[in-house]
Structure formats: structure tokens, C-alpha cells
Chains A and B, each alone.
Chain A
Amino acid sequence: MWLWGSVTGSKASATGVLNGIGADVQLARLATQSCLGGRLEELRGRVVVLAVRDQLTAALAMIELDGVAQRMVLCPPDMSAEYLSSVAHDADADAWAVDARALDTAGNAIAIPVTAEPEPVRAALERCASQATEWILLTSATTGAPKLVQHTLVSLTSAFVHQPRAPDAVVWSTFYDIRRYGGLQIFLRAVYSGSMVLSSAAEPVADFLSRAGAAGVTHISGTASHWRRALMSGAASRIAPRYVRLSGEIADQAILDALRAAYPNATVAHAFATTEAGVAFEVGDGLAGFPASLVGATGDSVELKIRGDTLQLRSAGTATRYLGSHTASLRGSDGFVDTGDRVELRDGRYYFLGRSGGVINVGGLKVHPEEVEAVINAHPWVRMSRVMARRSAITGAVVAAEVVLADTAGAAGTRPADEALSQKIIEHCRLSLPAHKVPVMIRIVAALELSAAGKLVRPNA
């Protein structure tokens, strides 16, 4: 099983089109053309870091590299450049597929420029798979540097590959980047069964919706935050999908109702998946949460259980392992992955409460409190801090912090007033953290509670 094989093996895919912000590419073109300038064979058997900005470029490279590379590492475009070398090291990378202007990233390793415009190759192109490529996704970790999660094409496609294909033409789209798990799920579905409109972080949402509408999008996915933004754009009616999917964040009743009102002819479904655990389920009854009957059912390809109050998952879609040095075991001894998502049972239905360990989900992006606390604590006037989630109807949650101040701060002079100092600490966070990790508010407190073991007491931890 390999990705190019699924294109040539299916009538729907052979006529499929990838629609990018500046260009359309028919998948069938890859039969005789390459976006790697004909240098694909140089990457056979290698560990390739795929680090390009544009999604169409990444999509084409993924199709070409699967079955050829030993391992391909999917770097999202917003990943800080400072982590590139640690990611490459953790993955044992010996080759790069990058934008032409970034060729010097690779140092002494092989570096091949990728474009979104496939070109005929001089020698005849004979695509063949020589191995099951390992797909490496990056996910955020406590320390700041991303964790590397190893999947295979089999695990990534397990949620849909055995389902019957839709009888009509399917045009997929997603607000996600396809190098994140939620977006990759949609991209792979598209390669297996149709076409896809790729989004771009730089494109205004109304323009994206126009492009998706013009391409006849039938199936589209995003986080609850993506969808709130689409509804606020005033351009939601530019698409007329028959399937609307939410994942990556808690789908509350308000957003489900708003989407049903906006798209009365569509099935509105919310799915639960994590990069490590894979896809758990999809709920299409229009209600928040999920039926309790999904938990404990056996004989299915996906098994769910609740330990304490967090959801655990075991399935063919579960990742193989973490790569690199700083990594614990991905699954427990029983094969279940702890998703870290807390649930509560009410009237025969489980509802999501948020993340255990205090992990904050801001518009689908995970924020580890410890990472933000480390930055806050580096401020000269801060003695200790606790970072927590604050609910937001726009992005699900935002980051808030409580801070205990020091009485003196070396040579820093007299302590500013609390409000001014809160602002200074926020400014200090902005210097080294991406915007979604910067606290929206800082409350100065006299003390923070510590547990008997001397650890910061975290709500819900």
C-alpha cells in the first residue's frame, strides 16, 4: 500500500485535482512529471525532512515521497526555525526537501528544492515503492521543541480506508494545514477518493471560502474556532457542502447549532482524534459529546475506555511510537493511548471537559502551561507563576496566568505598580512565545498553592 498506488488504482483519484492558492494540479500529472526536478531517486531509502511553506507543494511532495523515503518528517509552516535542527536530529534525517530559497537549511545533507509546479522529467519516470515509509508528525511538547510521532500510511488511513467510497464526486477541503493530523486526515481522504482545495494561512477566510465554493467543495473540516471565524466572515454561504466536520477542539452545542443553521443541507459531524491515538469516532447526531455506548465496545476496530476521567484509545490508527531522545512511551502496557482529554458522563452521554495536566487548547493549538510559566518566571520581578486556561467562545480557550512577585529584583530598582508590571510581563512573553501562547491576562496574587509533594497545584490536573 502506497499513496501513488492509491491514485493510479482508483478512477476517482486518477481524475483528482489539488487546488492551491495559485494553481491547480491534476494528480494524474504525477505519472510523468515531478515536483522534485527529477531527483526523487536520490531520496530513496533516506530520512527526509519536508519543510516547505506552501500546502500544495507539501501535498505533491508527500505523494512522491511515500514508498520512496524510509521516513518523511512533516514540518508545519509555522514551526519555529530554531527547532528544525533538533527535529532533524531526533529523526536521524539525512536529506531535505525544501523551498528553493531555503536550500542552505540542510548543511551538508542532500537538499532538493520542491515546487508546486510539477515538470516533465528527462528520464522516464517510473514510480515504484520500495518500502512502507514512516510518516512523522510533529506535536507540541512541554519543552517547546516539538515531539515526533511516528505513523505509517496504514495507521493514518485506518479510519476510512475500509469504508465504501462515495458514489458521487467528492471535493474535500479543510481549514487545517495538511501537515497537522487533522488536515492530513482530510488530505489522505482526498487522495484516495477525489479532489481537494488546500487552504493557506495567508489567505483571508472569505477568499478561501470563495475559492472552495468555486471548486464545488462537498466535504470540509476545521476546528470549532475555524468554523466560528468562517461564520463571522459573512462569507459562510459561499460554500454549499454536504458534509461539515469539526475536530481538534471541543465542539459545543452552540457551534453545532450555528453550523446546522448555516448549512441546512449538510451533515454536521464532529470527530475526535489525536496525533498519537488516531481517530476515535465521529458523531453525526448534531449533539455535543458522544454516546456512552461507544465506550467499552469490543470487536470494533477502535476501542475506548475511561481511566480516571480521561479518555483512552486503542486502534489500528494509533501511532507506532515517539522518535528521538526526550520521549516516554506513547502507549500503555495494554496498548491504549492516554489522550489526555477529560470527560464527564451525564445522562448516557460523555461530554468533554478539557485537557488533563492543564494543557490548554487555543483554537486547536496545544499550549503546555509549563512552557509559558518558564518564560514568565524568567522575568526579573517574578518569583513563581501558574498558567491556566480561560474559556473563550472564539478560540475555545485562551491562556491566563497568576503570578507571585518578588520583593526585590536585583538591580531593577523600585517595583512598578501591579497593572504596569502585568503589562510588562505580557510584553516579555511576546518576545519569545508565539501569539497563542502569550497570556491574555496576568493576575498578581500573594501566593500559589503547592501540593504536599511541593508541586504547583493545578486545577483538574
Chain B
Amino acid sequence: MSVRSTVISQFEEVAVAQHRKLARLTDDLRLLESGLDSLSFALIVVRLEDALGFDPFDSDEAIVFPVTFGDFVRLYENHPK
């Protein structure tokens, strides 16, 4: 499964678990308009760490916080394996 499809499936699963209505996941969708709250994002990041083996936010270097869904996916796609 590609990184992108893993990210998409975690967004969908967490939205269901948190009883939130998920907007259509396009690259220019703003994360805060996706229907998810901070706790949902925290959950997604934890689940992705378990699925992919890394947390791109857990870095000593400066991170730029993702604004859109596309930013979020790229953060994972561009992370050194």
C-alpha cells in the first residue's frame, strides 16, 4: 500500500471512530476544514507511526506544520525511510 493510501485509510478510520464527518480528501483541502479535530489528528499520527514506523513530527529539526491534506501527505512521503 502506498504512503498516500495508508494516510487516506487512517483519516477515514479515525473519522468513523471519532464520529466525525470527513470532507472529501483532496490535496488542497485545509486540514482544519476536513471535519477532524486536534485529537483526531493526534490519533492519525499515532496510527501512522504504528503503520509506517515513523513520526515526521517527532524531529529535532524545525517542522513546518501542514495546512492542507496535500502538505500532510507530503510530510510522510518525503520523510527519509
Q: Which of A234, A362, A426, A441 contacts B39 (CB 8 A)?
A: A362
B52 CB–A CB distance under 8 Å: no
Stretch of A119-127, A393-401, A446-454 on the interface side: A393-401
A26 CB–B CB distance under 8 Å: no
The answer to whether A394 and B45 touch (CB under 8 A), given A363-B39, A435-B39, is: yes
In contact, B32 and A390 (Cβ under 8 angstroms): no
In contact, A234 and B67 (Cβ under 8 angstroms): yes
Q: Which of B18, B32, B62, B67 contacts A258 (CB 8 A)?
A: B62
The answer to whether A440 and B32 touch (CB under 8 A), given A233-B67, A254-B63, is: no
Q: Which of A204, A257, A393, A426 contacts B32 (CB 8 A)?
A: A204
Shortest CB-to-CB span from A275 to chain B, Å, is 22
Separation of A225 and B65 alpha carbons in the complex (Å): 12
B residues less than 8 Å from A394 (CB atoms)? 38, 41-42, 45, 57
Separation of A231 and B30 alpha carbons in the complex (Å): 12
Q: Nearest CB to that of A254 among chain B residues?
A: B63
Shortest CB-to-CB span from B73 to chain A, Å, is 14
A residues less than 8 Å from B38 (CB atoms)? 225, 228-229, 363, 394-395
In contact, A232 and B32 (Cβ under 8 angstroms): yes
Shortest CB-to-CB span from B33 to chain A, Å, is 8
A residues less than 8 Å from B7 (CB atoms)? none
A392 CB–B CB distance under 8 Å: yes
Separation of A233 and B30 alpha carbons in the complex (Å): 7
Of the candidates A390, A395, A441, the one having the most CB atoms from chain B within 10 angstroms of its own CB is A395
In contact, B62 and A254 (Cβ under 8 angstroms): yes
The answer to whether A232 and B42 touch (CB under 8 A), given A205-B32, A393-B57, A435-B18, is: no
The answer to whether A234 and B68 touch (CB under 8 A), given A228-B38, A363-B38, is: yes
The answer to whether A228 and B45 touch (CB under 8 A), given A205-B32, A393-B57, is: no
B12 CB–A CB distance under 8 Å: no
In contact, B39 and A258 (Cβ under 8 angstroms): no
Shortest CB-to-CB span from B46 to chain A, Å, is 5
B residues less than 8 Å from A441 (CB atoms)? 46-47, 50
The answer to whether A258 and B65 touch (CB under 8 A), given A229-B38, A232-B31, A441-B50, is: yes
Separation of A445 and B44 alpha carbons in the complex (Å): 23
Q: Which of A234, A362, A390 contacts B30 (CB 8 A)?
A: A234
In contact, B59 and A440 (Cβ under 8 angstroms): no
A-B pair number, CB within 8 angstroms: 74
Interface string of A236-264 (1 = CB under 8 A from B): 00000000000000000110011001000
Separation of A229 and B47 alpha carbons in the complex (Å): 19
A residues less than 8 Å from B43 (CB atoms)? 398, 440
A residues less than 8 Å from B33 (CB atoms)? 204
Separation of A395 and B42 alpha carbons in the complex (Å): 6
The answer to whether A206 and B32 touch (CB under 8 A), given A393-B57, A394-B38, is: yes
A391 CB–B CB distance under 8 Å: yes
B residues less than 8 Å from A362 (CB atoms)? 39, 42
Q: Which of B53-79 touch A at CB < 8 Å?
A: 55, 57-60, 62-68
Shortest CB-to-CB span from B80 to chain A, Å, is 17
In contact, A392 and B32 (Cβ under 8 angstroms): no
B residues less than 8 Å from A257 (CB atoms)? 62
B residues less than 8 Å from A228 (CB atoms)? 38, 65
The answer to whether A258 and B30 touch (CB under 8 A), given A228-B38, A391-B58, A393-B55, is: no
A residues less than 8 Å from B57 (CB atoms)? 254, 393-394
Separation of A395 and B41 alpha carbons in the complex (Å): 9
B residues less than 8 Å from A233 (CB atoms)? 30, 32, 67
Q: Which of B17, B47, B59, B65 contacts A232 (CB 8 A)?
A: B65
Shortest CB-to-CB span from A329 to chain B, Å, is 34
Shortest CB-to-CB span from A365 to chain B, Å, is 10
A residues less than 8 Å from B30 (CB atoms)? 206, 233-234
Separation of A441 and B17 alpha carbons in the complex (Å): 12
A residues less than 8 Å from B45 (CB atoms)? 392-394
Q: Which of B12-50 touch A at CB < 8 Å?
A: 17-18, 30-33, 38-39, 41-43, 45-47, 50
Separation of A441 and B10 alpha carbons in the complex (Å): 14
Separation of A234 and B33 alpha carbons in the complex (Å): 10
Shortest CB-to-CB span from B34 to chain A, Å, is 10
Interface string of A426-443 (1 = CB under 8 A from B): 100000000110001100
**Chain A residues with a Cβ under 8 A of chain B:** 204-206, 225, 228-229, 231-234, 253-254, 257-258, 261, 362-363, 390-395, 398, 426, 435-436, 440-441
Further 4 A-B residue pairs, CB within 8 A, beyond A234-B32, A393-B45, A398-B46: A204-B32, A206-B32, A258-B63, A391-B58
Could you give 20 example pairs across A and B, Cβ below 8 Å? A206-B32, A228-B38, A232-B31, A232-B41, A233-B32, A234-B32, A234-B68, A258-B62, A258-B63, A363-B42, A393-B45, A393-B63, A394-B38, A394-B41, A394-B57, A395-B38, A395-B42, A398-B42, A435-B18, A441-B47
